[in-house]
Every structure is written in structure tokens, then in C-alpha cells.
Amino acid sequence: ETYEVANFVNKRKGVVIENRGSTFFKTKYNPEKNTTAWRCSKYRSLTNHGTSCKARLITSETFIVGYIGRHNH
């Protein structure tokens, strides 16, 4: 199986992933699986409008190994 390489970018508030025109921030690390969960950065900004973006990524080391949900913006 071939995985996409994650584009890690250092920002003022920490490391984020830029992927397909969207930015994701780290939410949780799972040491047992050696994976990290990332959430779309628009998750909080859209909450005020009665919705929130459900898009997430899962990475293992430098690779994106899973996508969860879809962007709604």
C-alpha cells in the first residue's frame, strides 16, 4: 500500500499539516499505534455558524495513512 507524504509546516502556534488546500492541527497521539490524529483548522471557526468541519487526517511518522470525514466548507 502506498501512502501520501504529509506536508508538515511550522506555524507560529506549532506544527500543522497542509493538505489539498486545507490546514490541519494535531489533536491526539496514539503511542500504541504510533499514529497522530489531525483535525481541519476550520473546525472551530465554523462552530459559531451552527456546524463544524468533520474532516480529519491520521498520520504515522511522515505519512498520511487515513482520512476521516469530509470538509463542509
The separation between CA 68 and the C-alpha centre of its own chain, rounded to angstroms, equals 9
pLDDT at 60: 96
Which residues, including other chains, have CB under 8 Å from residue 44's CB and lie 6 or more apart?
52
For the chain, give the longest Cα–Cα distance.
39
pLDDT tens, residue by residue, 13-61? 788 999 988 999 999 999 999 999 999 988 876 555 667 888 999 999 9
The whole model's pTM is what? Answer: 0.83
Tell me how far CA of residue 4 lies from CA of 13, 49, 58, in angstroms. 24, 32, 11
From CA 30, how far away is CA 5, in angstroms rounded? 19
